[in-house]
A and B are shown apart, each in its own frame.
Chain A
Amino acid sequence: MQLFMQQLVNGISLGSIYALIALGYTMVYGTIRLINFAHGDIYMVGAFFGYFLVSVLNVNVFLAMLLAGVFCAILGVVIEKVAYKPLRKSTRVAALITAIGVSFFLQNVMIYFLGPEVRAFPSTIPVMPFRVFGIVINMKQVFVFITTVILMIVLNAIVKYTKMGKAMRAVAVDSEAAELMGIDVNRVISFTFALGSALAGVAGVLVGVYYNSISATMGTTPGLKAFVAAVVGGVGSIPGAMIGGYLIGLLETIVTFMGGSMYKDAAVYALLIVILLIKPSGLFGKNVKEKV
């Protein structure tokens, strides 16, 4: 039982990271109905930017996280303007292929300039394990969890109480109607990308701190899994993405705990397929009737 509880703690740390990435997917999908395949790679760029700041410039890890967030926000906006905006009126498949192209581009540019090898992220947070009811929790896990919770609260506040957040929600419901009401849809979309990418950038630094290793291809698998998390929670729903992220994190650690560590990725994809078949709109998604 204690071992199981231990796995839960690990699962929550992992889930925090998935949740942060999933939020970006879900917000972007909510506004422009695009699976931003490049999102996982923005997270990777964030990790590398954080690595650069911490190990080369000796920046404090909190500041590095903030700067990585800002950098990724700019990157996200640039990607949106250059690659996605010209395609807003074209087919969904075209937009999706473009997103895959951007993902490939980011990944291969990083490999080209920095090499494909795994790099060690300097450990900046002391491990300092301590026991709570016999469960070992270390400082890194606390750090990851608290950072995530703070970011989620901030995000929720932005979406709920600011003017921009209101505009975001309006665009998500009906972008044409929002435009008619005088909302600058392009600005809202850019803002959404900035917000989502910033969260991914922070998640990248968190992963660096938590696992101490980063590589140019680290974005693909967590990116896909975070997307699964977003779908499980209901694409477009912010609380859904958070809960989906934690569910995926817990699922992975539980499957590992049951001795199926080799199958943990398969379990996540299997969950995705099951959810898509049983409740395609996800746990928190709204059912949208298709109009002819």
Chain B
Amino acid sequence: MNRFHIRNMVWLAAAVLGFLALYALVQAGIINRFYQITLVTIMINIIYAVGLNLVLGVAGQFSLGHAGFIAIGAYSAAIFTKAMETNTTGLYVGMAVGVGLSIILALIVGIPTLRLKGDYLAIATLGVAEIVRVIINNMRDLTNGPAGISGIPLVSNWINVYIFMVITTIFILNFVYSSAGRATMAIQQDEIAAESMGVNVTLYKVSAFVLGAITASIGGSLQATFLGIVTPGDYTFERSIDVLIIVVFGGIGSFTGSFVAAILLGLLNVFLQDYGQLRMVIYAIALVLIMIFRPGGLLGTRELRLGSLVTKALGKDKEAVS
């Protein structure tokens, strides 16, 4: 039963414990309605950031088009949740449709543009995201144009967001630690060397891009049904930058970093709420300073390896016993 080896069990236990801890806090009223918004925002940001980290940190492809995929997920969920009789089914049908559309778009965009290097790719993906937004803005029958869709049934709460956060993270991490993930990492380190070792560069780049798009779309669906409103203005280039800031702040390539950064920035947002625009100024300064003084972000590429820690601890115990 290799699948149930100790590392996976430890992480599963951590996920369940985290859930129980949050549940207890919510039941006890410590996380009230207001803090729940923060909690859900943080968790959705984690979903986005983990996806972008796969594209940027593992595959080394600089995508600025995350907002486009988020928008697709959000609008699909919004439309289906409102249209279908049982709202929860609507959310999941909408989410599936959003994921499907995102995959198609990511393939259409990814296969040609991922040939481009660094900054060109960034601009091309940015362009795609803007095109998505313009189209959403103009499909008035379906999306209600610039005013957006409001009154979406609020079917998401922190519980299903938490579950999806865990699922998408596992999904992405499984990819990263598979042989495909290692091949993808090789591309990031040296594309030409990887190619000469027989790595199918396009395949893995596009895979990472598509996985990033899928998680972004799922996050968007959850956010739409949690907030109850979507407008095209929410999915500008700045939305992509928000996610980028989390990934960079936590350390490009470190998934633990993305978690930590999303939580820290989420909490920071609560404290800086009263400062309004000054918050964005602080963000901007922080972004520049991090790049200058700590280009690796908070954690660099380090990861918290809970499984290894536990196995090590257990291993020592065994030695101590024997």
Among residues of B, the one whose C-beta sits closest to the C-beta of A86 is: B292
B322 at the interface (CB under 8 A from A): no
What range describes how many residues of A lie at the interface? 35 or more
The verdict on B199 contacting chain A, using a C-beta distance below 8 Å, is: no
Pull 7 A–B residue pairs with CB atoms less than 8 Å apart, ordered by A.
Answer: A97-B248, A100-B287, A104-B241, A112-B277, A262-B137, A273-B128, A276-B123
Q: Which of A96, A98, A108, A262 contacts B122 (CB 8 A)?
A: A96
- A101 located at the interface, meaning its Cβ lies under 8 Å from any Cβ of chain B in the complex: yes
Q: How many residues of B contact A (CB 8 A)?
A: 38
Question: Does B119 sit within 8 A of A, measured CB to CB?
Answer: yes
Of residues 269 through 295 on chain B, the ones whose CB sits less than 8 Å from some CB of chain A are 277-278, 280-281, 283-285, 287-288, 291-292, 295
Interface residues of B in 184-227 (CB under 8 A from A): 192
| B-side contacts of A277, CB under 8 Å | 112-113
Chain A residues closer than 8 Å to B283, beta-carbon distance: 104, 108
Tell me the smallest distance from the CB of B107 to a CB of chain A, in Å. Answer: 15
Q: Are B252 and A93 interface neighbours, CB within 8 A?
A: yes
- A266 near B135 with CB under 8 A, answer yes
In A252-292, the 8 Å CB interface with B consists of 262-263, 265-266, 269-270, 272-273, 276-277, 280, 292
Contact between A262 and B287, CB atoms less than 8 A apart: no
**Which partner residue on chain B sits nearest A96 by CB separation?**
B119
Within 8 A of B (CB), among A194-220: 220
**Contact of B135 with A105 in the complex, beta carbons under 8 Å:** no
A173 within 8 A of B: no
A2 proximal to B (CB < 8 A): no
**Roughly how many angstroms separate A289 CA and B210 CA in the complex, as a whole number?**
29
Within 8 Å CB of A280, what residues of B?
Answer: 116, 120
Let me know if B138 is at the binding interface, CB within 8 A. yes
Judging by beta carbons under 8 Å apart, are B287 and A104 in contact? yes
Q: List which A92-110 residues lie within 8 A (CB) of chain B.
A: 92-98, 100-102, 104-105, 108-109
In the assembled complex, A47 has its CB within 8 A of some CB on chain B: no
Give the top 7 A-B pairs by smallest Cβ distance, nearest first.
A269-B127, A101-B287, A105-B284, A104-B284, A108-B280, A101-B288, A266-B134
Instruction: Please give me the residue from chain A that is nearest to B248 by CB atom.
Output: A97
Chain B's closest residue to A105 (CB) is B284
User: How far does the Cβ of A230 sit from chain B's closest Cβ, in whole Å?
Assistant: 10
Query: Which one of B127, B241, B278, B284 lies within 8 Å of A272 (CB-CB)?
Result: B127
Main secondary structure of the interface of B (DSSP, over half): helix
Determine the chain A residues whose CB is within 8 A of the CB of B127 once the complex forms.
Answer: 228, 269-270, 272-273
Say whether A111 contacts B277, CB under 8 Å. yes
Which residues 45-98 in A have Cβ within 8 Å of B in the complex? 83, 86-87, 90-98
- Known: A96-B62, A227-B123, A231-B120. Contact between A102 and B112, CB under 8 A? no
Alpha-carbon distance A83/B288, docked complex (angstroms): 7
CB of A105 within 8 A of CB of B56, answer no
Contact present for A93 and B123 (CB under 8 Å): no
A35 within 8 A of B: yes
Among A34, A87, A112, A262, point to the contact of B291 (Cβ < 8 A).
A87
Q: Which secondary structure dominates where chain A touches chain B?
A: helix
CA distance A276 to B122 in the complex (A): 12
A224 at the interface (CB under 8 A from B): yes
Which residue in chain A gives the minimum CB-CB distance to B240? A100
- Chain A residues packing against B (C-beta within 8 Å): 34-35, 83, 86-87, 90-98, 100-102, 104-105, 108-109, 111-112, 220, 224, 227-228, 231, 262-263, 265-266, 269-270, 272-273, 276-277, 280, 292
Q: Report if B310 contacts A (CB, 8 A).
A: no
Q: In the complex, are the beta carbons of A272 and B124 less than 8 A apart?
A: yes
B284 and A93 within 8 A (CB): no
Q: Is B92 an interface residue (CB 8 A)?
A: no
A94 with B287: in contact, given A100-B241, A104-B241, A108-B277 (CB under 8 Å)?
no
Known: A112-B281, A272-B127, A280-B120. A101 touches B291 (CB 8 A): yes
Taking a contact as CB atoms closer than 8 A, the residue among A262, A270, A276 that contacts B138 in the complex is A262
Could you tell me if B131 and A266 are in contact, using CB atoms closer than 8 angstroms? yes
CB distance from B16 to the nearest CB of A (A): 36
* A93 CB, nearest partner CB in chain B, Å: 5
Interface residues in B4-57 by Cβ distance below 8 A to A read: 56
CB-CB under 8 A from A101, the residues of chain B are 284-285, 287-288, 291
Contact partners of B122 in chain A: CB under 8 A? 35, 96
| B103 proximity list for chain A (CB < 8 A) | none
Q: Are B116 and A98 in contact (CB under 8 A)?
A: no
Q: Check B126 against A108 for contact (C-beta < 8 Å).
A: no
The interface residues of chain B lying within 8 Å CB-to-CB of A100 are: 241, 244, 287
Beyond A220-B237, A265-B130, is A93–B118 a contact (Cβ under 8 Å)?
yes
In the complex the two chains form, is A98's CB within 8 Å of B292's CB? Answer: yes
The answer to whether B281 touches A269 (Cβ under 8 A) is no
Check B241 against A263 for contact (C-beta < 8 Å).
no
CB proximity to A under 8 Å, residues B105-151: 112-113, 116, 118-120, 122-124, 126-128, 130-131, 134-135, 137-138
Q: Closest CB of chain B to A197's CB: distance in Å?
A: 17
Q: Which residue of A lies closest to B119 (CB)?
A: A35
